[in-house]
């Protein structure tokens, strides 16, 4: 940080911005990478079943798989609309 | 049994072919019988970088399709006599590289060579997947720049899921990070991702850092692998990387800016 930068106010340098953006996008893409191929279809079909009973929008069903050494857990989150 | 090393990156233009040429030359120079295969069917360039473009008669696809023997297609390097080049086909479709065909060629090469270096095409499609499928080790070439780092992470995912080792449930492909076109001055100014930043994001061991250098273009103009430019920083950085690949411990160099003193500026005109 040079003497002049002190007066200009510490602006974040572009390398730091790059690093932060990369950390976020890489973490996000890794999360998706580890998911099984059938997940999007499963999510779609679950959505259809639930819609027979409750009207919900596409983003109100979240399906994720958590893998541990010994077992995998399928986690299903359904947000119901307010009555 | 040969060790199979893929040089890959996802993104194009980061230095895969430059790196394949230098690593294979470096391994051969140390006495290991080495072959470097160009997997970029349709866009062959390794022959130019290795200065054997006028000696190509048969290629990788000819061998796979039984139109030529391996011995007919292999080109012996004129500088290092333990080095051979297997050029890519310039006229065929990428799909000409079949899994079985590639396996057959690699198995045959494996009988006589110590190292097989696979120069991957850019992208994550068929050609790139064929290049990495049989790999024991992967050199992931990355520039300190957002799109290259992201693509490298993508190719790491493919190595971990679609390589033979992954599919067979064997030990994973050994991954190495090679950071190229590194400019310490710009890193110090906060304009470029540092080695540490890229290591932190990709989380794989660092094989080497190749400084951005005019020598690289000069070498490719003349068809000389950079590693043979022994007086240059980039050439020495490649030599260090090859030494590390062979298990030697070498300290990383060329990672800080060489501030020129008053006298060297006066006398070298830099």
For residue B43, the enclosing domain spans 3-246
CA–CA gap between residue A30 and residue B42 (Å, rounded): 31
Residue B15: which of B192, B241, B260, B168 has the closest Cα?
Answer: B241
Asked if A67 reaches chain B (Cβ–Cβ under 8 Å), the answer is no
> What angle is formed at CA B248 by the lines to CA B215 and CA B31, rounded to 5 degrees?
70
Q: How far apart are CA B15 and CA B181, in angstroms?
A: 8
**Contact, B201 vs B218, CB < 8 A?**
no
Q: Which of residues 25-84 of B touch A (CB under 8 A)?
A: none
Strand B3-8 versus strand B137-142 pairing type:
parallel
Chain position carrying tokens 């857990």: A73
Q: How far apart are the CA of A34 and the nearest CA of chain B, in angstroms?
A: 9
The model's pTM is: 0.85
> How far A9 CA lies from chain B's nearest CA (Å)?
15
The neighbouring-strand residues paired with B89 are: none
Q: How far is CA B73 from CA B64, B104, B229, in A?
A: 11, 15, 28
Q: Dihedral sign, CA of B121, B122, B126, B131?
A: positive
Prediction ipTM score: 0.85
CA-CA distance, B241 to B182, in Å (whole number)? 14
Residues of A in contact with B191 (CB under 8 A): 13-15
Q: Nearest CA of chain B to the CA of A30: how many Å?
A: 8
Partner B contacted by A14 (CB < 8 A): yes
Residue A16 vs residues B27, B79, B90, B195: alpha-carbon distances, Å: 37, 44, 42, 13
* CATH label of the domain that carries residue B132: 3.40.50.300
Q: Per the annotation, does B112 bind a ligand? A: no
Cα separation of B139 and A3, whole Å? 41
- Closest in A15, A25, A30 to B190, CB measured: A15
In three-state form (DSSP H/G/I as H, E/B as E, the rest C), the secondary structure along B145-182 is: CHHHHHHHHHHHHHHHHHCHHHHHCCCCCEEEEEEEEE
Q: Considering its fold, how many domains does chain B have in total?
A: 1
- 3-class DSSP state for residue A60? helix
Residues 6+ apart with CB under 8 A from B164: B133, B134, B135, B170
pLDDT band at B269 (very low <50, low <70, confident <90, very high): very low
B255 lies in some domain: no
Q: Is A26's CB within 8 Å of B149's CB?
A: yes
- Domain contains B259: no
Is there a binding annotation on residue B15? yes
> Which tokens is A39 given?
């997940």
Task: Flag if B201 and A14 touch (Cβ within 8 Å).
Answer: no
Report the mean per-residue pLDDT for chain B: 94
Q: Is residue B149 part of a domain?
A: yes
CATH of A24-29+36-78, one of 3.30.1070.10, 3.40.50.740, 2.60.40.10, 3.40.50.300: 3.30.1070.10
User: B257 in a domain, yes or no?
Assistant: no
What single-letter DSSP state applies at residue B22? H
Residue A5, pLDDT > 60, answer no
Do residues A26 and B150 lie in contact, with contact meaning Cβ atoms separated by under 8 Å? yes
Please report, for chain A, the start and end positions of each structural domain, with discontinuous segments joined by +. 24-29+36-78
B270 band by pLDDT with thresholds 50, 70 and 90: very low
A17 touching B (Cβ < 8 Å): no
Distance of residue B109 Cα from the nearest chain A Cα, in angstroms: 34
B211: left (phi over 0), alpha (psi -120 to 50) or beta: beta
**Could B201 and A19 be called an inter-chain contact, meaning their C-beta atoms sit closer than 8 Å?**
yes
Is residue B2's pLDDT more than 60? yes
B170 vs B1: which has the higher pLDDT: B170
Which residue of A lies nearest to B199 if distances are taken between CA atoms? A19
Please say if the pLDDT value at position B66 is more than 90.
yes
B34 is in an annotated binding site: no
B256 inside domain: no
């Amino acid at each position: 940080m040079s003497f002049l930068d002190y007066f200009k106010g510490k602006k974040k340098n572009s390398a730091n911005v790059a690093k932060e953006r990369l950390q976020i996008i890489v973490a996000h893409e890794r999360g998706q990478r580890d998911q099984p191929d059938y997940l999007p279809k499963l999510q779609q079909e679950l959505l259809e079943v639930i819609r027979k009973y409750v009207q919900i929008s596409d983003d109100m069903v979240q399906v994720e798989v958590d893998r541990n050494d010994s077992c995998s857990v399928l986690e299903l989150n359904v947000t119901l609309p307010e009555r | 049994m040969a060790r199979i090393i893929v040089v890959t990156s996802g993104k194009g233009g980061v230095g895969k072919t430059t790196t394949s040429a230098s690593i294979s030359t470096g391994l051969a120079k140390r006495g290991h019988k080495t072959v470097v295969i160009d997997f970029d069917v349709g866009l062959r360039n390794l022959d130019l970088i290795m200065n054997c473009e006028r000696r190509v008669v048969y290629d990788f696809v000819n061998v796979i399709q039984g139109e030529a023997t391996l011995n007919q297609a292999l080109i012996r390097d004129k500088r290092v006599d333990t080095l051979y080049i297997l050029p890519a086909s310039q006229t065929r479709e990428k799909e000409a590289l079949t899994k079985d065909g590639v396996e057959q060629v690699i198995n045959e090469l494996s009988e006589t060579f110590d190292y097989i270096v696979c120069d991957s095409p850019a992208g994550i499609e068929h050609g790139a997947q064929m290049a990495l499928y049989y790999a024991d080790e992967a050199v992931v070439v990355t520039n300190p720049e957002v799109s290259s780092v992201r693509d490298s992470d993508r190719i790491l995912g493919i190595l971990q899921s679609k390589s033979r080792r992954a599919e067979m449930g064997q030990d994973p492909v050994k991954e190495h990070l090679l950071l190229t076109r590194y400019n310490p001055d710009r890193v110090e100014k906060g304009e470029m991702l540092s080695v540490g930043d890229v290591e932190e994001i990709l989380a794989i061991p660092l094989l080497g850092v190749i400084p951005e250098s005019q020598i690289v273009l000069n070498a490719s103009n003349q068809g000389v692998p950079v590693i043979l430019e022994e007086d240059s920083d980039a050439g020495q950085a490649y030599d260090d990387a090859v030494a590390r690949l062979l298990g030697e411990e070498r300290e990383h160099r060329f990672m800080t800016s060489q501030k020129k003193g008053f006298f060297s500026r006066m006398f070298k005109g830099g």
